[in-house]
């Protein structure tokens, strides 16, 4: 993809990544738009770009892949984590137009364009990672050379500064408005679960299906009475994009009604943060977030280490951690809270992604624990 | 859990001599383990027969036994040292085998010794094909179908139980004759019958064919709490069928989706759990069908391996060190990631660059074996390269491998090959296959067709295609190369030298172009975390970025006095681990003297490329451009005092002239002196001045005048091209016909070269001398080593003894005198190695190398003095102490004998006779107060099976017959049976020695080769000369190698051997750590 004469085939142009006035990167811009603005984050996974890009938690973010080669294995119909690409775009060192893998169905660049996403490449992404790490996540612009020259750097920086931040941006609302809830009830299943979808990855559902569960999905506008009346065996709170406080404020009343029922409850990522907030813990924005597939987490109950897949920019804080919750998992990177359970009701949650995809399968046992809770509760 | 307190003394088993498949990666892992265990406060006892290793340096263990790694010797050491535990997982197959052998005897049953890392049971399951397949099927994993067939009457039954295609591998047939692919039932019956008939042991392996399958490897580390991490995944560019050691490999795996990757990850961990590798590192190999993703488990190694060394260098994660700490009880979360210092060792490394490994081959040294790759490893070394893209990484790999042709250029011989023949070559697994692929692309053979012929993944082919496109653009641009294309080529990864080659613009102009446009290379860190955390470890690689900002370059030069040490590049025959030993010792010495040490090397197997050996490590090709970039960068802050070229063998010397031309300082011996010793005429003048003699000689420019010039000298003569190492293409010529053959066989290599012609000294003794000199002219003779074999056999292939065992005092003092005048004339600063031949008490000089030699590590271990450390001190201006100046090693109270180890078993159809071209891959040392016992130790250390000898076969050339009668008498007096062929038989009979007469092969059955195959011969002594005699006796020597029967092709060694065997009858072997031998 770096060879000069590919240009016509690929429909990319010279472009710029503008972090701020000081850090501007020249590169190649593959996009239908002249420019795009979104918050930049980096992900260190070496595999699974298709899953990452279709993970709703990345909504309205540019993902800077630290792994330099993206697109080699193309895309297929099986590796989606939702119905489309949610990330605003991706940034990588080198992009591959043609794929090579027995499961590939679409070439990567075609897929990016057909999904209305964008890619920015042929730049020093390692330096970009360092800048994000040093100066924090913020909105950046990707644009064509033509746009850059017409607008000028002053104008562009103003545009960036005036754009809404991730906290201000109500990404979860956007997600919910796009979400097309499917009611799944295939065959006779042992457990029924109310699945609160804030931007869930498909692989969470797959893990529940494969454990003999049927699920019914609800979005953030759910009504507690509806759910309670249906006598579900368990509640599940999914991952999703944005600031947990924002979501929690929206659903606080209804959620507390549900939790009062003390039915087995499991939360992942945003779900974990929301549950923690519901128990009066506090959350905050992290300096650089955890995004990758190699994060070690210690299970404080078994002392075992799990290598986990993570994707979060907010975290539950140690300070004022409520006494009716117990910390069950900690990050071995920075000792932040990675999992908790309630002392007096069957409820637990983790900050990372036991469904992984992409990432290691070390933590799949958490789904079994959820099943156990429901079994115990039923029996 | 913290470190175990129930053990305090640990025996670490090393891997012994460097052989193909087991090289200096085990020195790297073993020395990491020893260091880590010592630091934890354990008493470390080490056994390793290989003196060239860093781990056998006296400071690495509390007790260092440089003794043969043999079951009985290990028992003696255990008896003496009484260790609490043994760590066998650092010493490759050798160490595991010792545990298996001892376990077979139930040795561990009654003793309390703990086996760390892997239990004897798990070693058995992993090593035994059948047990392994069963274990895999118990956890629901598949292994390829494989059976041994030795009964032809079974075939009709078996044929109905197998699915096709299958592969046949008959046992012990030369060059795999009788092997091949079987496509259907009919094929099966006839081909398997044939295979059984052809095999001398009437057995063949029948295996599922995995032609065209992809191969992947996972490096796993597991602790006692069942925590596991994958350190690295590796993808083989070559399909299944090429040994992974011979494959070009890429890290991380590039053509797997996350779904497939995680499947392999889960299976890797499940396999470790099942096999029961309780703690430490293991390697799991998979075959994956590219059509449907089906996975088969090929094998797992319950120990650190060549791949784990590669994975450690590729990621910065020190597998061996961590594995050693896990073995003594730590868990992964308790250990720190050494690189980041902020993350735990339990974190899976991520990398943000592409690593390519290319193996190094020496097929040219083994006539008779076709240059083809298969499941038996043949490579003798490897290089690794790091780039931000695959293209950059691959190009850097080709710049690192030091091959005869440049970049992806095809070799001269194949330049005019027809397209159809080229396609045929593509179907062969040749060592130069990527060069053939590149040529096929140049000739517009479609990539899809190349992929069908080679089974190489389209991704890699497309990438090579892109490189070739730029190559062609550069050729087209020629002298009108524009800035844009230049920048573009640099971004792809082209070196200046390569660009100059393609455009025909002089290299200096290319450097000017680069400087004029202010285009500098940047350096990135290997940090295990994709820059997610700051890394304080200076492990760096270069890449080219056209837009620079403050975060582009991560070299961060310090304001210090620095010394740059150039490493020795890929291991190859003639240049191996010895030079890495020298580099590492030099680094240590300069560090102690207060310099910041900067290492440049590209060999992933070595200790020198460990991130904590030097203060700064640049993993780069040893090509001038890459070295220059580093010096320039380091000079931005602080001062590079100079570059060291004398410890890395011949590799750094290749760029010495460029360094000088660009005004960089070479520390130690001057470029001038290097040039004199490499330049025939200047060197001749020098030795005349010193008063030394040299065998009569001449030179020929190219091949045209070679015959005429040769005919003017007295045969036999030696021919070799100048500027070569390890006696490459050095051959002894008996007459002018030989010279003509030599020209025909080596035409391309000789054509543009200077060829040196020397008269050959028959039956002379050869001596190696290493000398040190300081800048005041003080000198120290580090050692005078006498070869066991006569002159004419390459010094690297000869056994040698320190102190000398048969030289008189006059000769020794003359050698000293000459050596000292020579180093003084050359104004050597540091080390020099000189080789002499002694014929009838006359001394001739054969060669002088103004650098550290192959023998220096052996000398250091034999004597106990750190010669490299001393040499490094001299280089920066210290002077030799009086004690060192007067040092005399001829008074040692013991003998240390170095013996060479050969890879002939890997090269079927190659003759084992030794000559002036070096063939050995490694060496061992035998040390003992008794000369003969020291020799015996060196022989069993080298792998000769000398226990229970009974039947000796002797067949010698005429001139050896007189001397053999004494040897034969000794054998008979000591109860051995002798078997001889006619000539030797009759001669011995005349001398009053009776022996059993056996037929030569040509004389018909029952002949000697049949005797050997039937296990009736335990030892072969065979000396021979003249073409026809050599051809006639070839199968005798070859069969001995194939069946692992000890053989001696040289009378002097046979003579010493019989005396050793006699000595052994009255004096049992004892063991002693070198720390107790040494008196310094």
Q: Enter the tokens of residue B3.
A: 């470190």
The architecture in CATH of the region B668-694+762-892 reads 2-Layer Sandwich (3.30)
* Chain B: closest CA distance from residue A313 (Å): 14
Among A72, A100, A298, the residue with its CB nearest the CB of B333 is: A298
Q: Mean pLDDT, to the nearest integer, of B356-384? A: 92
Assign a CATH topology to domain B696-760.
Dna Ligase; domain 1 (3.30.1490)
B491: which residues sit within 8 A by CB, 6+ positions away?
A2, B544, B545, B546
What pLDDT does residue B278 have? 85
Note the CATH number of domain B146-208.
3.30.1490.20
Question: Is the model more confident about B890 or about B780?
Answer: B780
For residues A307 and A210, what is the distance between their CA atoms, to the nearest angstrom? 22
A207: which residues sit within 8 A by CB, 6+ positions away?
A354, A355, A364, A367
Least confident segment among B369-373, B617-621, B881-885: B369-373
- Nearest chain A residue to B387 by CA distance is A68
For residues B753 and B739, what is the distance between their CA atoms, to the nearest angstrom? 16
Q: Mean pLDDT, to the nearest integer, of B378-404? A: 96
Residue B367, pLDDT above cutoff 90? no
- Nearest chain A residue to B491 by CA distance is A2
What pLDDT does residue A2 have? 44
Least confident segment among A159-163, A359-363, B1000-1004: B1000-1004
**Is residue A164 domain-shared with residue A207, that is, in the same domain?**
no
Q: Mean pLDDT, to the nearest integer, of B931-938? A: 98
**Is residue A98 domain-shared with residue A80, that is, in the same domain?**
yes
Q: Enter the tokens of residue A48.
A: 């699974």
- pLDDT digit string (tens) for B612-624? 999 999 999 999 9
DSSP string, B34-103: HHHHHHTT-EEEEE---TTSSTTSGGGSSEEE-S---HHHHHHHHHHH--SEEE-TTSHHHHHHHHHHHH
For residues B313 and A103, what is the distance between their CA atoms, to the nearest angstrom? 32
Backbone angles phi, psi at B285, to 5 degrees: -110, 135
For residues B562 and B971, what is the distance between their CA atoms, to the nearest angstrom? 60
Q: Enter the tokens of residue B159.
A: 């044929």
- pLDDT digit string (tens) for B843-876? 999 999 999 999 999 999 999 999 999 999 999 9
**Is residue A203 domain-shared with residue A345, that is, in the same domain?**
yes
Q: Mean pLDDT, to the nearest integer, of A38-62? A: 96
B388 to chain A, any CB pair closer than 8 A? The answer is yes
Q: What is the 8-class DSSP label of residue A115?
A: T
- pLDDT digit string (tens) for B577-627? 999 999 999 999 999 999 999 999 999 999 999 999 999 999 999 999 999
Residue A330, pLDDT above cutoff 60? yes
**Is residue A188 domain-shared with residue A283, that is, in the same domain?**
yes
Question: Is B661 strand, coil or helix?
Answer: helix
What pLDDT does residue B200 have? 72
What pLDDT does residue A185 have? 61
Q: Enter the tokens of residue B978.
A: 């002798």
DSSP string, A265-284: EEEETHHHHHHHHHTT--EE
**Is residue A326 domain-shared with residue A190, that is, in the same domain?**
yes
Q: Measured between beta carbons, which residues in chain A are less than 8 angstroms from residue B258?
A: 45, 47-48, 51, 79, 293, 357-359
Residue B155, pLDDT above cutoff 80? yes
Asked if domains B696-760 and B928-1066 share a fold, the reply is: no
Scanning B775-814 for CB atoms below 8 A from A yields none
pLDDT band with cut points at 50, 70 and 90 for residue B822: very high
Domain boundary among the residues A118, A141, A168 is at A168
Q: Mean pLDDT, to the nearest integer, of B256-273? A: 97
B530 to chain A, any CB pair closer than 8 A? The answer is yes
Percent of chain A scoring above 90 in pLDDT: 88
Task: Indicate which CATH number applies to the domain containing A184.
Answer: 3.40.50.880
B708: which residues sit within 8 A by CB, 6+ positions away?
none
Pairing of the two strands A69-70 and A61-65: unpaired
What pLDDT does residue B889 have? 79
Catalytic, A213? Answer no
What pLDDT does residue A6 have? 46
Residue B429, pLDDT above cutoff 80? yes
**Is residue A152 domain-shared with residue A266, that is, in the same domain?**
no
- pLDDT digit string (tens) for B942-978? 999 998 899 999 999 988 998 899 999 999 999 999 9
Element (H, E) at B767: strand B765-773
Quote the mean pLDDT of chain A.
93
B348: which residues sit within 8 A by CB, 6+ positions away?
A293, A294, A296, A307, A360, B229, B230, B231
* Structural domain total, chain A: 2
Residue B229, pLDDT above cutoff 70? yes
Assign a CATH topology to domain B555-667.
Rossmann fold (3.40.50)
Q: Mean pLDDT, to the nearest integer, of A44-69? A: 97
Assign a CATH topology to domain B928-1066.
Rossmann fold (3.40.50)
What pLDDT does residue A183 have? 63
Alpha-carbon distances of A103 from A66, A73, A77, B172, rounded to whole Å? 24, 8, 9, 41
- pLDDT digit string (tens) for B178-211? 888 888 888 888 889 988 888 877 888 898 989 8
**Is residue A242 domain-shared with residue A363, that is, in the same domain?**
yes
Q: How many CB atoms lie within 10 A of CB B731?
A: 18
Q: Is the pTM for the entire model greater than 0.80?
A: yes
Residue A314, pLDDT above cutoff 60? yes
* Chain B: closest CA distance from residue A127 (Å): 5
Q: Which of A269, A290, A295, A312 is catalytic?
A: A269
Question: What ranges do the domains of chain B cover?
Answer: 127-141+211-349, 146-208, 555-667, 668-694+762-892, 696-760, 928-1066
Residue A253, pLDDT above cutoff 90? yes
Report the Cα A288 to chain-centroid distance in Å.
Answer: 14
**Is residue A39 domain-shared with residue A74, that is, in the same domain?**
yes
**Is residue A281 domain-shared with residue A372, that is, in the same domain?**
yes
What pLDDT does residue B993 have? 92
What pLDDT does residue A68 have? 98
Residue B1040, pLDDT above cutoff 80? yes
Alpha-carbon distances of B522 from A2, A127, B556, B626, B633, rounded to whole Å? 19, 11, 11, 11, 9
Among B259, B458, B492, the residue with its CB nearest the CB of A2 is: B492
For residues A255 and A273, what is the distance between their CA atoms, to the nearest angstrom? 13
Structural domain span for residue A19: 4-168
Among A44, A102, A130, the residue with its CB nearest the CB of B551 is: A130
What pLDDT does residue A3 have? 43
- Nearest chain B residue to A333 by CA distance is B343
CB distance B1080 to B953 below 8 Å: no
* Chain B: closest CA distance from residue A18 (Å): 14
Least confident segment among B191-200, B221-230, B480-489: B191-200
Alpha-carbon distances of A336 from A289, A300, A365, rounded to whole Å? 11, 13, 21
CA-based angle B391:B625:B849, to the nearest 5? 120
Residue B223, pLDDT above cutoff 60? yes
Note the CATH number of domain B127-141+211-349.
3.30.470.20
CB distance B132 to B51 below 8 Å: no
Strand spans (E) along B295-345: 295-301
Residue A7, pLDDT above cutoff 50? no
Q: A126 vs B531: CB contact, 8 Å cut-off? A: yes
Q: Enter the tokens of residue B29.
A: 């892992």
What pLDDT does residue A4 have? 42
Residue B48, pLDDT above cutoff 90? yes
Q: Mean pLDDT, to the nearest integer, of B653-659? A: 93
Q: Mean pLDDT, to the nearest integer, of A228-250? A: 95
Q: Enter the tokens of residue B819.
A: 């050596």
* Chain B: closest CA distance from residue A102 (Å): 6
Catalytic, A361? Answer no
Q: Mean pLDDT, to the nearest integer, of A104-121? A: 95
Peptide bond preceding B1006: is omega within 30 degrees of 0, i.e. cis? yes
What pLDDT does residue A181 have? 79
Which of B772, B316, B819, B775 is closest to B582 using CA atoms?
B772
Among A26, A102, A131, the residue with its CB nearest the CB of B292 is: A102
- pLDDT digit string (tens) for B685-742? 999 999 999 999 888 888 889 999 999 999 999 898 876 656 677 888 888 998 998 8
Domain boundary among the residues A130, A147, A168 is at A168
pLDDT band with cut points at 50, 70 and 90 for residue A10: low
CB distance B637 to B604 below 8 Å: no
Residue B175, pLDDT above cutoff 70? no
Percent of chain B scoring above 90 in pLDDT: 78
CB distance B965 to B1052 below 8 Å: no
ipTM, two decimals, is 0.95
**Is residue A144 domain-shared with residue A198, that is, in the same domain?**
no
**Is residue A218 domain-shared with residue A327, that is, in the same domain?**
yes
Residue written as token pair 């398997």: B192
CA-based R_g, chain B, Å: 29
Q: Measured between beta carbons, which residues in chain B are less than 8 angstroms from residue A25?
A: 547
Among B225, B291, B352, the residue with its CB nearest the CB of A68 is: B352
Q: How many CB atoms lie within 10 A of CB B945?
A: 14
pLDDT band with cut points at 50, 70 and 90 for residue B1: low
pLDDT band with cut points at 50, 70 and 90 for residue A168: confident
CB distance B328 to B42 below 8 Å: yes
Q: Mean pLDDT, to the nearest integer, of B3-23? A: 94
Task: Indicate which CATH number applies to the domain containing A37.
Answer: 3.50.30.20
What pLDDT does residue A237 have? 98
Q: Enter the tokens of residue B642.
A: 């100079």
Which of B315, B233, B250 is closest to B460 using CA atoms?
B250
Q: Mean pLDDT, to the nearest integer, of B262-287? A: 95
Catalytic, A353? Answer yes
- Nearest chain B residue to A44 by CA distance is B530
**Is residue A152 domain-shared with residue A198, that is, in the same domain?**
no
Quote the mean pLDDT of chain B.
93
Q: Mean pLDDT, to the nearest integer, of B501-522? A: 94
């Amino acid at each position: 993809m770096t060879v000069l004469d590919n240009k016509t085939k690929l429909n990319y142009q010279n472009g710029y990544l503008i972090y701020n006035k000081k850090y501007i990167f020249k590169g190649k811009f593959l996009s239908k738009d002249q420019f795009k603005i979104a918050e930049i984050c980096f992900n260190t996974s070496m595999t699974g770009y298709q899953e990452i890009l279709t993970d709703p938690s990345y909504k309205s973010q540019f993902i800077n892949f630290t792994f330099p080669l993206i697109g080699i294995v193309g895309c297929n119909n099986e590796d989606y984590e939702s119905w489309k690409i949610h990330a605003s775009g991706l940034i990588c060192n080198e992009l591959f137009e043609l794929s090579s893998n027995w499961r590939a169905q679409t070439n990567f660049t075609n897929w990016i364009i057909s999904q209305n996403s964008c890619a920015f490449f042929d730049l020093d992404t390692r330096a970009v990672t360092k800048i994000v790490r040093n100066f924090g996540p913020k909105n950046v612009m990707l644009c064509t050379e033509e746009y850059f020259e017409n607008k000028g750097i002053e104008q562009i920086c103003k545009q960036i500064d005036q754009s809404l931040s991730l906290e201000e941006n109500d990404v979860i609302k956007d997600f919910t408005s796009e979400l097309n809830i499917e009611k799944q009830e295939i065959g006779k299943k042992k457990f029924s679960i109310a699945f609160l979808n804030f931007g869930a990855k498909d692989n969470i559902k797959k893990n529940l299906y494969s454990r003999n569960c049927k699920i019914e999905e609800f979005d953030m506008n759910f009504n507690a009475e509806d759910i309670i009346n249906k006598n579900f065996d368990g509640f599940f709170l999914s991952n999703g994009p944005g600031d947990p406080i924002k979501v929690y404020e929206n659903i606080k009343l209804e959620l507390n009604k549900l939790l009062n029922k003390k039915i087995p409850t499991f939360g992942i990522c945003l779900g974990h943060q929301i549950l923690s907030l519901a128990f009066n813990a506090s959350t905050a924005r992290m300096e650089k977030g955890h995004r990758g597939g190699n994060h070690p987490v210690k299970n404080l109950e078994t002392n075992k280490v799990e290598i986990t897949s993570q994707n979060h920019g907010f975290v539950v804080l140690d300070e004022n951690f409520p006494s009716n919750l117990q910390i069950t998992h900690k990050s071995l990177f920075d000792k932040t809270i990675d999992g908790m359970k309630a002392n007096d009701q069957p409820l637990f949650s983790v900050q990372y992604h036991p469904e992984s995809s992409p990432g290691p399968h070390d933590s799949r046992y958490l789904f079994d624990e959820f099943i156990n809770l429901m079994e115990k509760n039923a029996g | 859990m913290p470190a175990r307190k129930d053990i305090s003394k640990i025996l670490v088993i090393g891997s012994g001599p460097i052989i193909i498949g087991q090289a200096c990666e085990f020195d790297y892992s073993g020395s990491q383990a020893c260091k880590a265990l010592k630091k934890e406060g354990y008493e470390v006892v080490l056994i390793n027969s290989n003196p060239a290793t860093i781990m056998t340096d006296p400071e690495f263990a509390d007790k260092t036994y440089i003794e043969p790694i043999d079951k009985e010797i290990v028992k003696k050491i255990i008896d003496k040292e009484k260790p609490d535990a043994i760590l066998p997982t650092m010493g490759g197959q050798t160490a595991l085998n010792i545990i298996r052998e001892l376990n077979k005897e139930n040795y561990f049953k009654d003793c309390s010794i703990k086996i760390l890392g892997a239990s004897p049971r798990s070693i058995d399951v992993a090593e035994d094909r059948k047990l392994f397949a069963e274990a895999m099927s118990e956890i629901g994993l598949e292994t390829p179908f494989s059976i041994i067939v030795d009964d032809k009457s079974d075939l009709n039954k078996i044929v109905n139980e197998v699915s096709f295609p299958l592969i046949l591998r008959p046992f012990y047939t030369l060059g795999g004759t009788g092997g091949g692919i079987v496509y259907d039932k009919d094929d099966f019956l006839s081909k398997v019958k044939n295979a059984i008939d052809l095999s001398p042991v009437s057995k063949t392996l029948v295996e599922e064919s995995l032609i065209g399958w992809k191969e992947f490897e996972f490096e796993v580390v597991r602790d006692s709490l069942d925590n596991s991490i994958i350190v690295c995944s590796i993808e083989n560019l070559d399909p299944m069928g090429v040994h992974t050691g011979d494959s070009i490999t890429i890290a991380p795996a590039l053509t797997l989706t996350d779904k497939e990757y995680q499947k392999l990850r889960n299976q890797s961990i499940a396999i470790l759990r099942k096999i029961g590798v309780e703690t430490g590192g293991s390697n799991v190999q998979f075959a994956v069908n590219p059509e449907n993703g089906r996975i088969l488990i090929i094998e797992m190694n319950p120990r650190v391996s060549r791949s784990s060394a590669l994975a450690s260098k590729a990621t910065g994660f020190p597998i061996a060190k961590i594995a050693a700490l896990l073995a003594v009880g730590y868990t992964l979360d308790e250990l720190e990631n050494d690189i980041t210092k902020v993350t735990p060792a339990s974190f899976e490394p991520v990398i943000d660059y592409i690593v390519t490994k290319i193996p190094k081959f020496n097929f040219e040294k083994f006539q008779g074996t076709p240059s083809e790759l298969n499941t038996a490893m043949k490579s003798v070394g490897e290089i690794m390269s790091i780039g931000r893209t695959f293209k950059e990484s691959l190009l850097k790999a080709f710049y690192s491998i030091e091959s005869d042709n440049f970049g992806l250029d095809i070799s001269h011989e194949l330049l005019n090959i027809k397209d159809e023949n080229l396609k045929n070559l593509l179907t062969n697994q040749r060592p130069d296959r990527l060069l053939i692929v590149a040529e096929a692309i140049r000739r517009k053979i479609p990539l899809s067709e190349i992929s069908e012929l080679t089974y190489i993944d389209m991704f890699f082919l497309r990438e090579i295609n892109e490189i070739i496109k730029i190559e062609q653009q550069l050729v087209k641009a020629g002298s009108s190369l524009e800035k844009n294309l230049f920048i573009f080529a640099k971004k792809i990864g082209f070196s200046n030298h390569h660009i100059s080659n393609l455009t025909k613009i002089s290299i200096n102009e290319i450097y000017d172009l680069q400087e004029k446009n202010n285009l500098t290379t940047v350096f990135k860190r290997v940090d295990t975390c994709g820059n997610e955390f700051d890394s304080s470890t200076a492990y760096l690689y270069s890449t080219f970025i056209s837009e620079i900002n403050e975060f582009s370059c991560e070299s961060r030069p310090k304001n210090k006095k620095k010394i740059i040490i150039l490493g020795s590049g890929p291991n190859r025959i003639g240049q191996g681990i010895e030079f890495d030993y020298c580099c590492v010792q030099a680094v240590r010495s300069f560090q102690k003297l207060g310099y910041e040490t900067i290492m440049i090397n590209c060999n992933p197997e070595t200790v020198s490329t460990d991130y904590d050996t030097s203060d700064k490590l640049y993993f780069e090709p040893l090509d001038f451009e890459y070295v220059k970039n580093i010096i320039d960068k380091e000079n931005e802050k602080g001062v590079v005092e100079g570059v060291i070229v004398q410890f890395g063998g011949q590799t750094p010397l290749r760029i010495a002239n460029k360094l000088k031309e660009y005004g960089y300082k070479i520390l130690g011996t001057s470029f001038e002196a290097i040039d004199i010793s490499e330049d025939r005429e200047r060197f001749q003048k020098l030795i005349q001045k010193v008063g030394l003699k040299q065998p009569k000689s001449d030179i020929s420019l190219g091949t045209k005048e070679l015959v005429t010039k040769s005919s003017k000298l007295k045969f036999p003569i030696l021919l070799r091209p100048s500027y070569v190492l390890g006696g490459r293409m050095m051959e002894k010529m008996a007459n002018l016909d030989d010279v003509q053959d030599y020209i025909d066989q080596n035409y391309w290599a000789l054509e543009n070269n200077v060829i040196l012609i020397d008269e050959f000294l028959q039956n002379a003794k050869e001596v190696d001398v290493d000398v040190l000199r300081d800048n005041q002219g003080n000198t120290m003779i580090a050692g005078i080593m006498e070869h066991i074999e006569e002159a004419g056999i390459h010094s690297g292939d000869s056994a040698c003894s320190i102190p000398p065992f048969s030289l008189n005092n006059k000769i020794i003092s003359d050698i000293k005198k000459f050596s000292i005048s020579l180093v003084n004339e050359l104004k050597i600063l540091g080390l020099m190695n000189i080789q002499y031949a002694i014929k009838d008490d006359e001394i001739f000089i054969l060669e002088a190398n103004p650098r550290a030699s192959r023998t220096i590590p052996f000398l250091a271990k034999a004597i106990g003095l750190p010669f490299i450390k001393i040499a490094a001190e001299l280089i920066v201006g210290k002077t030799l102490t009086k004690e060192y100046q007067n040092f005399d090693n001829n008074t040692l109270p013991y003998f240390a004998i170095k013996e060479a180890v050969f890879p002939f078993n890997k090269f079927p159809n190659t003759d084992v006779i030794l000559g002036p071209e070096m063939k050995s891959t490694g060496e061992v040392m035998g040390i003992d107060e008794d000369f003969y016992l020291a020799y015996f130790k060196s022989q069993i250390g080298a792998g000769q099976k000398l226990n229970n000898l009974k039947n000796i076969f002797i067949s010698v050339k005429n001139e050896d017959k007189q001397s053999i009668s004494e040897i034969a008498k000794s054998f008979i007096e000591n109860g051995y049976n002798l078997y001889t062929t006619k000539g030797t038989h009759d001669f011995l009979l005349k001398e009053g020695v009776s022996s059993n007469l056996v037929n030569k092969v040509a004389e018909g059955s029952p002949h000697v080769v049949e005797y050997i195959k039937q296990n009736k011969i335990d030892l072969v002594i065979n000396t021979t000369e003249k073409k026809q005699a050599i051809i006639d006796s070839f199968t005798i020597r070859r069969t001995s190698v194939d069946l692992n029967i000890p053989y001696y092709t040289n009378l002097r060694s046979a003579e010493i051997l019989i005396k050793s065997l006699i000595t052994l009858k009255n004096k049992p072997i004892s063991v002693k750590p070198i720390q107790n031998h040494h008196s310094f």
